[in-house]
Structure formats: structure tokens, C-alpha cells
Amino acid sequence: MLRFFIIFALFTSLFSSEVERHRWLKDESYLLFLERVKLPIKPLYYNLDKDDQRLTEEMRTGIHYQILRDGNGQILQALLPLNDELQIHIYKEKNEYKFEPIPIISTTKTEAFSVVITHSPHYNIMKATGSKKLAQIFVASFRNSLNFKNDIRKGDRLVMIYDQKYRLGHPFSMPILKVAMIEMRKKQHFIYLNDDERYYDEKGNEVEGFLLARPVRGARISSYFSKRRYHPILKRWKAHLGVDYAARRGTPIVAAGSGRIIYAARMGSYGNLVKIRHDDGYETRYAHMKSFRRGIRRGKYVKKGQTIGYVGSTGRSTGPHLHFELRKHGRAINPLRVVQVTTKKLKGKSKKAFIKLRDSYNKSVNLHLKNATQFQKIPQREEKCYFYNPQTPSP
């Protein structure tokens, strides 16, 4: 952790130099970026290992990044956020540029608001919060259980409680819904995020997702999703943007959801890769396949549960397994948070724990209703750099 303090100290001591905040341009790749800002490509890309090279593909349009220059306009450091937890740190040391993935430091706040519905949940949340994300999350959470169109009356209310991440005063990343409540003709309907990271209704029945639990039947998870992970042997920060299922070579892999195949070929460290595009901006990826099933090719429509290929070890892989990824609008998300585990019903101890959680959530929902809690916009402070405070605790 000493390392972080060194970086912080470095940043602060150089604070007289200018820190610029930019947004990642549309269609700009990491390589194009290096070229445009005149950073050397060899040490910052070609000399990296495959994992780090793949990480650089995670840069997304519109993301805020920082550049620190010296008095002559030379770049001293750059911070490029890859997701909400990990960022690329480019820095100059003894006249050479170095590359390292490091964690992003952020704080999480639990926020809540209530809204009276005059038009539709989507419209009124947008109007009250100005956040498309919040409106979409709320509507999507009830998609499979309720019909807003027919059963909402003017004057029905809704409450949303969620976690929002902040980086130096700026909200970033997707909010995580904890409770959603909507009245329909005054009757309350709920969805709760349980301690097992899945969503349930009032009765403890899981809210149905749209994907299959596992794209490989009976397979064991050998590696979980992580936006940042410290590799104890390599002593570096990495990410694992999917879930690995260990299975015997040749085991069938099925489509986790219905959709159109948009890629079925070899792709670098992914090996034999299939990408399927689903509704609502979702995409699933199946990597390291031994082979594709006959007829599986770009443009073909597949149904949930249909075999698309077979477990193998092609690409960068140490043994036969399926590397499974879920993306929404290009961003990797944890598949285990979205998949449907044959619609789980909570029982026994876990049901008891859920009921306790549910009742405390209901209390806060009703308190927010009573107080008509307004959405509060956090004032945006113009921060120069998120490494500003050397006292920031390292993770």
C-alpha cells in the first residue's frame, strides 16, 4: 500500500502543474489515444502482457479521464478509468513511460426519493431526478412482474432506495437498486435486493431474470467476476470481467438467452469466441471454445438453451473451461447478478433473514413516503484530480 502513497505524494507534489479533465472520445481506441496525445506505443501497449492489453479495450466513450502535464506540456501522468473500480495509471519515471492498473478510490452513498406519479414511472422519475439511469433501472426491475400501463392511477406513488458511487463529488457508475416500491391503485408492490445479491418480491420469490443460470450444465464456477483483483503472485492489479465454468473438454455450451449471433470466430486471447446480442443492449460472450456447433455463425438467431459450441481451451487459457461474459451497452457486468437460478424461492434460515431485511426496508420506504423525500442533487464540485487528497485511504 506504500506504493499508493508514493503515487499520491507524487501527484500532490506536482500539483503546481496542470491537471486536465477530458472525456473519452467516441470511437477512440486506446492506441489512437496514445498516438493523439503523443505517448509512446511500445512501452504502453506492445510490451504489455495479454491481460493488460485486453484491459485497454475497456475504455468507453464519455468516461472522464485525467492528464497531468509539466510546465512544458509534457505528459507526466494519466489516469484512465476502465470501469468503476479499476483504472490505468500511465506515468513517467526516469524518462520512461510506465503502465499499471490501479484501483479507483470512491465512496458509496445510499440515496432515496419518493415520487407522485402523474404520467408514468419513467417520466416522473426523469422529471424528479434528471437521471435516465434511475428511471430505466426502476422500470426494468418490475418488467417481468407488473404491467404499469393498465394498473397505475394518477396519484399513485413510488419509492426508490439505491446505492450511488461518488468520485470526488461526481456520481459515477450505475446506481445499484436496493428497494423499489410502486403503488398501483394504492396497493404497494416491492422488489428487494437480498444479501445473496439477487432480487426478490415480498414473498421471497426471486424476480425472474432473462438469462439461464449456467451456460454449461452441471459446471462448477472456477473463477468469479471481479472488476479489480489483486494478483498475489504477480503483485499487480487485474480484472476478471466474466465468470469461468470448469468443465470437461467437449461439454456442450448453451446460449444463456435468446438473441442474434454477432460474432463466431477466433479472437486473440479469447480463442474461439461467440458473441450473442440480446434485447435492451445486453450481450453475452462465450470464450475458449473447442469448436462451434454446426450452423453457428454470424447473423443466426439462437434460442435460450440452444447449444452453440463445446468447452475447450483455445486462446489464453490454462485448461478447459468456459469464460462467460455479460455486457450491457458494452460494459462488462456480473452475470451472476442478472441470471435466473430457476426462480429461487427462499426457505428456512435464508427466508428468515430475508423477511427481517424486507421489514426494515418496508419501514424506510414508508418513512420516505410519509416525508415525501425529494431527490437531492449533490452539488458538483469542480475537482482537479481525484488523487488530490494524500490522506485518502488505500483499499
# residues contacting Zn ion (CB under 5 A): 3
Residue 228 CB, shortest distance to Zn ion, in Å, is 15
Cell 449471433 -> residue: 261
Among 13, 9, 15, 3, which residue's Cα sits nearest to residue 68? 15
Instruction: Point out which span in 30-38, 150-158, 179-187, 323-331 binds Zn ion (CB under 5 A).
Output: 323-331
Give, in order, the Cα–Cα distances in Å from 50 to each of 131, 168, 195, 278: 37, 32, 35, 28
Instruction: CB nearer to Zn ion: give 246 or 357.
Output: 246
Q: What is the DSSP string of 5-28?
A: HHHHHHHHHTTTSEEEEEEPPTT-
* Strand pairing class (252-254; 307-310): antiparallel
Residues 284 and 323 sit within 8 Å (Cβ to Cβ) = no
Instruction: CB nearer to Zn ion: give 165 or 321.
Output: 321
Instruction: CB nearer to Zn ion: give 11 or 286.
Output: 286
Instruction: CB nearer to Zn ion: give 81 or 242.
Output: 242
Q: Name residues contacting Zn ion, limited to 242-271 (CB under 5 A).
A: 242, 244
Residue 34 CB, shortest distance to Zn ion, in Å, is 27
Among 322, 341, 324, which residue's Cα sits nearest to residue 333? 324
Instruction: CB nearer to Zn ion: give 123 or 224.
Output: 224
Instruction: Point out which span in 10-18, 105-113, 145-153, 235-243 binds Zn ion (CB under 5 A).
Output: 235-243
Binding mask 1-40 for Zn ion (x = CB under 5 A): ----------------------------------------
Among 227, 285, 323, 327, binds Zn ion (CB under 5 A): 323
Interaxial angle between packed helices 121-129 and 132-141, expressed in degrees from 0 to 180 and rounded to the nearest 10: 150
Instruction: CB nearer to Zn ion: give 293 or 323.
Output: 323
Instruction: CB nearer to Zn ion: give 69 or 236.
Output: 236
Give, in order, the Cα–Cα distances in Å from 108 to each of 63, 166, 333, 346: 19, 6, 18, 28
Residue 293 as a binder of Zn ion (CB under 5 A): the answer is: no
Instruction: Point out which span in 123-131, 148-156, 211-219, 321-329 binds Zn ion (CB under 5 A).
Output: 321-329
Residue 242 CB, shortest distance to Zn ion, in Å, is 5
Return d(Cα 308, Cα 224) in angstroms, integer: 22
* Strand pairing class (339-340; 211-212): parallel
Give the binding site for Zn ion (CB under 5 A).
242, 244, 323
